Amino acid sequence: MTSTAPQQPTTDAWGIDASWLDALDEEHTVAEATIARLRQVIGTPPEDLVDRAPIVARPGDALEVDEADVECEDGQTRHVDGELPEDFPLGYHRLRTPDGRERRLIVSPGRCWLPEGWRGWGWAVQLYATRGRGSWGIGDLGDLRAVRELAQEQGAGFVLVNPLHAVAPTPGQEASPYLPATRRFRNPLYLRIADVPGADAVDVEDDAGRALNDGELIDRDAVWALKRRVLQRVFDARPGSGEDEQAFRDWWWHQGQPLMDWATWCALADQHGPDWHTWPRELQDPRGAAVRDFAAAREREVAFHAWLQWQLDLQLRAATEGITVIQDLPIGVAGGGADAWAWQDVLAPGVSVGAPPDAFNSQGQDWGSPPLVPWQLQAADYEPFVQSIRATMAGAGGLRVDHVMGLFRLWWVPSEGSAADGAYVRYPYEDLLDIVALESHRAQAIVVGEDLGTVEAGVREAMAEHGILSYKLLWFEDDEPAHWPAEAMAAVTTHDLPTIPGLWTGSDLAEQRHHGLGTDEELERGRASLLEHLGKVPKKATPAKAVTAAYKRLAGAPCTLLSATLDDALAEERRPNMPGAADRPNWCLPLPVPTEELATHPGVQSVAQVLANGLQPGKKRTAKTKGRS
């Protein structure tokens, strides 16, 4: 196990910290009422949990049992006496002790997969915003394929995309990629209709679809209404037998109960709405007889939602072929969504995750996702976490863990109070990091941890020990990029922060002012701080010159990954998301240039050349994966 533990304040038996340190290292005491409420929500684990919880270990580790038989994943049975042999197979096994007790044994390599000595640069893309002339109002997997081909031609090693996870299949489509209904399945909005087998045999309403590109904003409801109608038409026209049908059924069977749960939840949401809490009580139990009867009576509706996931799997694999595509894992899911329905016994009711007050938000933040109860997660053999990690890595070769500090502790916010009234709750981070390493090893996927903001001592050390790359932003770092660590992804900005053009022209500040996100003094001070990180750029320089200057600074970093946003390269002044601006069209802003014109755009060419030069004399090859799951 890892030897470096994060520094912890006083933590009680429920895993709740009695106090917390802010970014200025000032200590704050948690209110007794908050602690009492969170203890009630967490509950008391069973006395025998310590004997039933999974053992997470590495080959050669001493075990907490003296003697046991292990039924391995591959069917073999091995006997262990107090420790795992060095040649013990990695994976998820079942351990049985002589007294008849059984528990899960998870054997991890301890470090994430990363090609030795490899470095690469790549594009960070908000896929929904990256529309082409063949898109239907929203960037899709056809556009991702085009970006991937561009990246390969430019010598890039990776593409980083926003979360592609699914939301409810109902009107009122959730715009934020960070509040999905599930972290195990993908959003059908990203399907390229023309690439769906059988689409050429029906009326695909292509003219109506392309007309959706004329909107100044991305209208997900309009896009989904049209795409769903056409996809249903394609699905209904499929032959009921044949090679294609058998391939779908085989794929569905291999996905098992998770896909059945998702497809059933979608069919239920179509009829009863997107929040399972409002459904008839008998349908709120995913393992109840009423749900089984519903799925049997509406087999075709359930099959349609499963078929959509099959098409997404096929298109994603085609879009990512030959390059590492790093997918983003949100910190949680919507409380009324499919994962919350399937795992409701593992989630904390009446609580959501967020962040305490800090220099950027004096009221704290509430992100709206219910947290997993640590001991319930252990009692569930870590399966909710395993499935979420595995599914997000699948078919692409990379993972970015949003708010990676959440594997160590999460800020829990009781529904009765504000975000400032929360407390930190601890998680079994050593086990979770080892699970990430195991899934990374199996998928041959690079892992990046988004460790921005308040990071307690020991977290980055534990990440490094597990081979998880840190995340360095030009906007935040006081050190010169040349002094940044090699074990990191380097970037200028993120989707929540100003673009370089928006910062340089002052338009981002003006927008913040318009939305009342701070006093003039606070906003001016914040802008001045970020401008300092650009380095020496002439005051009369164009936004394009400022972009080039920023990426030249970034290119000096020795980091494993160098990342550039298409927003910067295309001189987009609006950031994708402005936290706290509820009346702003966050996550709905398309890029100003169609996908087909990216290759010839001077800003895209300039940034690509700058970062490619920054890798010299390092390698600029692609980190191709061999064992994607």
The answer to whether the bond into 414 is cis (omega within 30° of 0) is no
**pLDDT range class, residue 361, cuts 50, 70, 90:** low
Cβ contacts of 205 within 8 Å, gap of 6 or more: 226, 229, 230
**pLDDT above 70: residue 171:** yes
Looking at the structure of the chain, the number of domains it has is 1
- The percent of residues in the chain predicted with pLDDT above 70, rounded, is 96
Sheet of 351-355, strands arranged across: 365-366, 351-355, 409-414, 423-426
Q: 423: Cβ–Cβ under 8 A, 6 or more apart, which residues? A: 16, 17, 20, 30, 34, 35, 38, 411, 412
Lowest mean pLDDT across 22-31, 291-300, 309-318 = 22-31
Euclidean distance between the first and the last CA atom of the chain, given in angstroms as a whole number: 26
- Say which range, 26-30, 55-59, 373-377, 488-492, has the weakest mean pLDDT: 26-30
What's the pLDDT tens digit per position in 584-621? 999 999 999 999 999 999 999 999 999 999 887 644 44
Share of the chain above pLDDT 90, in %: 86
* CA atoms of 147 and 125, how far apart (whole Å): 9
- Residue ranges with strand state E in 172-220: none
| Alpha-carbon dihedral sign for residues 38, 39, 40, 45 | positive
234 pLDDT exceeds 70?
yes
Average pLDDT over residues 531-545: 92
Query: What is the average pLDDT value for the chain, to the nearest integer?
Result: 93
Nearest-5° Cα angle at 431, 427 to 434: 135
Answer whether residue 68 is part of any domain. Answer: yes
CA separation for the pair 512, 506 (Å, rounded): 10
Residue 521 lies inside a defined structural domain of this protein: no
DSSP state letter for 345 = T
Give domain status of residue 88, yes or no: yes
Q: Are the CB atoms for 176 and 586 separated by under 8 Å?
A: yes
* Beta carbons of 223 and 136 less than 8 angstroms apart: yes
Q: What does the angle CA 402 – CA 408 – CA 411 come to, to the nearest 5 degrees?
A: 75
Answer yes or no: is 70 within a domain.
yes
Residue 520 belongs to some domain of the structure: no
Confidence check: pLDDT of 628 > 70:
no
Whether 63 is in a domain gets the answer yes
Q: Which token pair is 24?
A: 């200025």
In this structure, what token pair is assigned to residue 135?
A: 């898109």
Residue 629 has pLDDT above 50, yes or no: no
CA angle 356, 429, 383 (to 5 degrees): 110
Mean pLDDT computed over 433-454: 96
Angle ∠(452,457,462) on CA atoms, nearest 5: 85
Q: Tell me: the pLDDT tens digits for 217-228?
A: 999 999 999 999
Question: Rounded to an integer, what distance in angstroms lies between the CA atom of residue 556 and that of residue 21?
Answer: 33
Nearest 5°: the CA angle 441, 443, 445 is 75
Q: Starting at the earlier edge strand, list the strands of the sheet with 102-107.
A: 55-57, 102-107, 91-96, 68-71, 77-80
Inter-axis angle of helices 141-154 and 602-614, nearest 10: 50
Residue 2: how many CB atoms within 10 A of its CB?
Answer: 16
CA-closest candidate to residue 255, choices 312, 188, 189: 312
Structural domain of residue 85, as residue ranges?
A: 59-107
Taking alpha carbons only, the member of 400, 405, 411 closest to residue 451 is: 405
Confidence (pLDDT) at 627 = 39
Beta bridge partners of 491: 473
Q: What are the residues whose beta carbons fall under 8 Å from the beta carbon of 192, sequence distance 6 or more?
A: 134, 135, 140, 141, 142, 143, 315
pLDDT confidence of residue 453? 83
Give residue 22's pLDDT. Answer: 82
CA distance 566 to 598: 9
Give the model confidence (pLDDT) of 552-565 as tens digits.
999 999 999 999 99
Q: Is residue 456 part of a domain?
A: no
Confidence of residue 505 (pLDDT cuts 50, 70, 90): very high
Give me the pLDDT at residue 546, please.
97
Q: What is the reported pLDDT for 535?
A: 83
What phi, psi does 83 have (nearest 5°)?
A: -155, 160
The pair of structure tokens assigned to 421 is 């009234």
pLDDT single digits (tens) 5-38 = 555 568 999 999 999 988 778 899 999 999 999 9
User: Which pLDDT value is given to residue 4?
Assistant: 53
Give the pLDDT of residue 362: 67
- Report d(CA 496, CA 490) in Å as an integer: 16
Identify whether 53 is part of a domain.
Answer: no
Residue 290 pLDDT: 98
